[in-house]
Every structure is written in C-alpha cells, then in structure tokens.
C-alpha cells in the first residue's frame, strides 16, 4: 500500500506543475499579463527558489521531483508575466 501511495504522489508531483502550461499559453496568446500581479508572481517564484535547495538535498524523491518541476514551470510563468509587463 505504501508503494502505491508513493507512486500516486510521484505522478501528482510531476503532473501538478504542468497545469502552469495553460497559463503560459494564455499569456502568450493574449500578449498580456495585466490580470496577474507582477508582485504576486515574483513572490511565488522567489519562495519556490528559496525552497529548491532544501528539496535538492532531501531524501524525499516526491518533494524533489515536485520542486524541480515547479521551479521550471513557474519560472516560465514568471518569465511570461515579466515579458508582457
């Protein structure tokens, strides 16, 4: 049962950050990020970056996978927000 829980957790850790893709594409299509706060995006991305070192040294593979994926995909969101500011 524990293996199943960990397997589901790993799938969710990889899939959840992929939900940033529609936001990235929406910003790109509209060529606007005015409905998103640059301060909010910067704050979230800053916190993600501050958590990344802890994730990289953690023995928890799920936390590590989620943090790496989230850093990459929210980094793209942040870049799009700033690009269209």
Which residue segments constitute the domains of the chain, with CATH numbers given? Answer: 2-83 (1.20.1280.290)
pTM to 2 decimal places: 0.91
Handedness of CA 69, 47, 51, 49 (dihedral sign): positive
> Which residue is it, tokens 């060529």?
31
pLDDT number for residue 48: 98
pLDDT number for residue 85: 87
Q: Using an 8 Å Cβ cutoff, are 56 and 67 in contact? A: yes
Q: What is the pLDDT of residues 60-75, one digit of tens each?
A: 999 999 999 999 999 9
Confidence of residue 28 (pLDDT cuts 50, 70, 90): very high
């Amino acid at each position: 049962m524990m293996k199943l829980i960990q397997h589901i957790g790993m799938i969710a850790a990889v899939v959840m950050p992929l939900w940033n893709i529609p936001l990235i594409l929406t910003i790109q299509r509209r060529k606007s990020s005015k409905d998103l706060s640059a301060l909010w995006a910067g704050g979230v991305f800053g916190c993600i970056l501050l958590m990344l070192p802890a994730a990289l040294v953690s023995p928890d593979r799920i936390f590590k996978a989620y943090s790496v994926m989230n850093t990459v995909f929210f980094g793209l969101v942040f870049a799009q927000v700033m690009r269209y500011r």
